[in-house]
Chain A
């Protein structure tokens, strides 16, 4: 069974930074694109970013305006999300998700999420 375990969330002041990690197991990590999706309290799902299987391409939500950076280390089966210049509106549960199939595009497996709270 696919395992995705996020970590790195917490309380941070506005303007601060956090680095989220997602450790993957029980599948061939290097074969799949990986994504981050977030959900603000009581709100819907918002796609944040995707990195392709080899890390060669990355994609971001327009609203992030260059503040977030996704990366992966296939030798460690881990995907990261570096979040800078955090704002109150970045408060959310951040989910790591795996593509449903190779090049599939939809999100077939999700982690349990890590909570990010931006507040002074």
Chain B
């Protein structure tokens, strides 16, 4: 099983600042990596797929990069609604696996 490790577990930043979230895969997943955003009490939403393609409805301040085993989600200028939890997810191999999540807090 591919283990996905996200860091940090909690990221403390101020509104307007840049946030950089990391996700590391224990094996090569090529670019089969997605990011999801989950607000409190809500359903997860696909944010990034194919490592860098932004899903419908998300603004350009969200960007993804990386390939192989190292991936990054960058939020260029944090808005109040961005202070939530983000998960990475590999869909290269079975079983699919998620990272444990990064909480972005003020």
Q: Is the interface of B mostly helix, strand, loop or mixed?
A: loop
Is A62 a contact of B95 with CB atoms below 8 Å? yes
Closest A-B pairs by Cβ, 5 of them: A105-B91, A106-B34, A47-B96, A44-B101, A45-B98
In the docked arrangement, what's the CA distance between A46 and B43, Å?
13
Is B1 a contact of A62 with CB atoms below 8 Å? yes
Instruction: Kindly provide the distance from the CB of B22 to the nearest chain A CB, expressed in whole angstroms.
Output: 16
User: Closest A-chain residue to B101, C-beta based?
Assistant: A44
Q: Mark A59-84, 1 if CB is under 8 A from B, else 0.
A: 11110000000000000000000000
Chain B residues lying within 8 Å of A31, measured Cβ to Cβ, are none
Q: Which of A59, A105, A109, A110 has the most CB of B within 10 A?
A: A105
Chain B residues lying within 8 Å of A50, measured Cβ to Cβ, are 94, 96
User: Closest B-chain residue to A97, C-beta based?
Assistant: B44
Q: Mark B73-106, 1 if CB is under 8 A from A, else 0.
A: 0000000000000010101101111111100000
In the docked arrangement, what's the CA distance between A84 and B56, Å?
37
Question: Is A111 in the interface zone, CB < 8 Å from B?
Answer: yes
Which listed residue (A60, A107, A112, A113) contacts B89, Cβ 8 A? A107
Is B89 a contact of A44 with CB atoms below 8 Å? no
Given contacts A62-B1, A104-B49, A107-B89, contact A47 B98 (CB under 8 A): yes
Is B95 a contact of A59 with CB atoms below 8 Å? yes
